[in-house]
Amino acid sequence: MFEVRLITRDEIAAFIRVHSMVYGRHPSEAYFRQANERFEEQRDIAAFDGDTLVGSSVIHDFRLTVPGGGVQRAGGITNVAVQPTHRRR
């Protein structure tokens, strides 16, 4: 069984490594610093196989206009990445 939850600040580097590996990117030290600085502003979700981070995604906050003129908060999921060893499980 996999655990899916928000990451902690200590898991930022592993989160970025999974995402970068899947998308063929090579993050710089500056990117790791920026991710750490904006950590409180994002909701980064990861899937774990035991202690190993194997999947990642980010939820951005949006506002959604609903019938009648109301506005509701909504989450937009983006940047979904799963290690090749754990796909289709």
Looking at residue 83, the DSSP 8-state letter turns out to be -
pLDDT value at residue 40: 74
Give the mean pLDDT per block of 10 residues along the chain (89 residues). Answer: 91 90 88 84 88 92 92 91 84
pLDDT value at residue 52: 93
pLDDT value at residue 89: 67
CA distance 66 to 50: 40
Q: Return the structure tokens found at 26.
A: 């090579």
Residue length, the chain?
89
